[in-house]
Amino acid sequence: MAMEYIYAVWLLKEANVEINADNLKKVLNSVGIQPNDAMINAVLAAIQGIDFEKIKQESLSVGAPVQVQVAPQPQQQVKQEQPKEEKKEEQALEGLSSLFGF
């Protein structure tokens, strides 16, 4: 099926206008598309029994934004760990200097 027919159906649905052959032709003509009667009949047959609200809700829920919590940056943890390492190195050097009398 050509998408322009489906779009016309959605436009009519959202405007709360009855979805029938005449209204589909009006929508298609309004945007410069020459309607095909066979295609209109096929679309009307295909949409029988479709729950448009369910489709709309499902399509909206798929693209819903997701909130993401940002984890603490590793740089902050590295900065905190560096002084500890430096202290250990200083202590080790002091221990070595005491052994050799420096």
pLDDT tens digit string along 31-61?
Answer: 999 999 999 999 999 999 888 888 888 877 7
pLDDT at 92 over 80: no
- Indicate the CATH number for domain 3-61: 1.10.10.1410
DSSP 101: T
Q: What is the residue-wise DSSP string for 50-91?
A: --HHHHHHHHHHHT-----PPPPPHHHHHHHHHHHHHHHHHH
Cα 13 vs. chain centroid, distance in angstroms? 24
> What pLDDT digit, counting tens, does each position of 7-20 carry?
999 999 999 999 99
Between 3 and 79, residue with greater pLDDT: 3
Domain boundaries, the chain: 3-61, 72-102
Counts of helices then strands in the chain (DSSP H, E): 5, 0
Confidence (pLDDT) at 4: 94
Positive or negative, the CA dihedral 78, 79, 81, 83 is: positive
DSSP state of 49: T
| Torsion sign, CA atoms 16, 17, 21, 26 | negative
